[in-house]
Amino acid sequence: MKPATTAPWEALTRAADASRNVHLRDMFAADAQRFSHLSTSWNGWLLDYSKQRVSTATMGLLHGLWQGADVPGWIVRMRAGEAINHTEGRAALHIALRHPASKGPLLHAGQDVMPGVHGELDKMQRFAAQIHGRHWRGATGEPITDIVNIGIGGSDLGPRMATQALAAFRHPDLRVHYVANLDGADLVTVLAGLQPRTTLFIIASKTFTTQETMQNAASARNWLVQALGEAAVARHFVAVSTNLAEVARFGIDPANAFAFWDWVGGRYSLWSVIGLPLALAVGCDNFRQLLAGAHAMDEHFFSAPVAENLPGLLALLEIWNTNFLGAESRAVLPYSQSLALLPRYLQQLEMESSGKQTDRQGMPLTCASGPVIWGEAGTNGQHAFYQLIHQGGRLLPCEFIVCKQPDFALPGHHEKLLANCFAQSEALMRGKTLAETTAELAASGMAADQVAMLAPYRSFPGNQPSTTLLLPRLDPFALGALLALYEHKVFVESVIWDINPFDQWGVEYGKQLASRLLPVIVGTASGEHLDSSTAGLVAACRGT
């Protein structure tokens, strides 16, 4: 059944119409216990959604979407290893990557995947111990000081984001770098500060054929070979791939290839050996803590009732804002410089998963799916785009993420950070009326004509919805739980919207067109089949 035709959906439509002219400040004035009614906690975390434009009655209706779409049943299907990625005939069993061995088997196609998962994890730990213990030596006998991960998409964004997020836990004698962009500027600027004899490359590509990754890998290989010779490749390159034939052809010893499986989607792969650069950056004990945090969030998601279920609540609030209030984007605003890359990571996770126009029956969607995700670390964003959020006249739901304790304790900083975070959510909720602004300016002694002129510019509509997620601190366990929280949020949304969140045909289509265009650009094929715009652009680049 299409979601927009269900009874809970229709009831929510009526509720949105009835609440459209109700201001958040009036909701707070009407309920002195609004915070306690519209917040929940888990494992020392606090999720405050009292500044969302919902009431307890609205939340009850939203809970009906969870039940009506049978989210609990879909959770069972995911955990059982069913091929819920139906367009590719695959399971989506990324939860297995952080499932403790002691918790028993998880099945895929009737086979327990846990021995393979933990076998690769143990192999990764042994390799990390060699690097950290300075036992792995390069071609000249020197230990490795720099790691360069070459990948793209999920093979880059996850480990790159997590490496920055856990900067406080980095290994002191090892530097980890990331190269993703096909633009040569990315690779060249990274290599400029490195020495071939002490650099190790990780080539992360499941098929070992990804165009961007393999071009960067080939250029990195040339850089190394020019300095150290062909024989050095085996000591300075390892692979995260399942294509051992191509790995060997590149010059990498297949014994130094780490494997993962087709039921691991790229944007869900940080927990696998794709996380190798992160494990090298922070150590395998911390990497295992990341997995433990993700598993703890899995268990919470699987068992908590919807009224207390953090991923479920975030998903339902997103659906309320998107489908009933008409929001087209969501700002992710981590008040943590360590989480500065989180908005980019969530762009891939959420927009690649939810950016769909077709439901599971192959029919056009009758409701909007995922919004545009954007954001920046606070307080930087306050000096960039917050003006538009406050006075731009658009509905822009915001998500604040902040920690009680800093990961880098520098006196005088964190208290100011907290003050700014909480002040912004209050300002977005409350606003400032023209009457309040007028009275404030008049009380300052300003002349009446100046007050009348300036008051409209200094008034704010408020009523801008936001959620605040307050964590005790940012450590590997917390980061793992945070990322798993968003994975499960996306899953709940997909069930209610009736879409497949695990494929990405739009990404694949662009790759196909690029492969067709490349021979035209290099001059080995004609461009007769091209449209006039594309043909004109190619001709301009070739000077013809």
C-alpha to C-alpha distance for 6 and 40, rounded to whole angstroms: 28
Size of the chain, expressed as the number of residues it contains: 544
The answer to whether residues 124 and 276 touch, using CB atoms and an 8 Å cutoff, is yes
Q: In what side-by-side order are the strands of the sheet with 45-48?
A: 39-42, 45-48, 466-471, 398-403, 329-334, 372-375
Q: Is 103 a catalytic residue?
A: no
The 10 Å Cβ neighbour count of residue 457 is 8
Q: Determine which one of 212, 352, 376, 487 is catalytic.
A: 352
Backbone φ and ψ of 48, nearest 5°: -105, 110
C-alpha to C-alpha distance for 185 and 181, rounded to whole angstroms: 8
The 10 Å Cβ neighbour count of residue 152 is 20
Q: Determine which one of 383, 404, 413, 529 is catalytic.
A: 383
Nearest residue to 120 via CA among 261, 267, 285, 265: 261
Q: Is 383 a catalytic residue?
A: yes
Q: In a 3-state reduction of DSSP, which class is residue 377? A: coil
The answer to whether residues 492 and 341 touch, using CB atoms and an 8 Å cutoff, is no
Q: Determine which one of 86, 135, 413, 511 is catalytic.
A: 511
C-alpha to C-alpha distance for 500 and 357, rounded to whole angstroms: 10
The answer to whether residues 413 and 379 touch, using CB atoms and an 8 Å cutoff, is no
C-alpha to C-alpha distance for 356 and 371, rounded to whole angstroms: 11
Burial class from Cβ neighbours inside 10 Å (0-12, 13-18, 19+) for residue 67 reads exposed
C-alpha to C-alpha distance for 236 and 376, rounded to whole angstroms: 35
- Active-site positions read 352, 383, 511
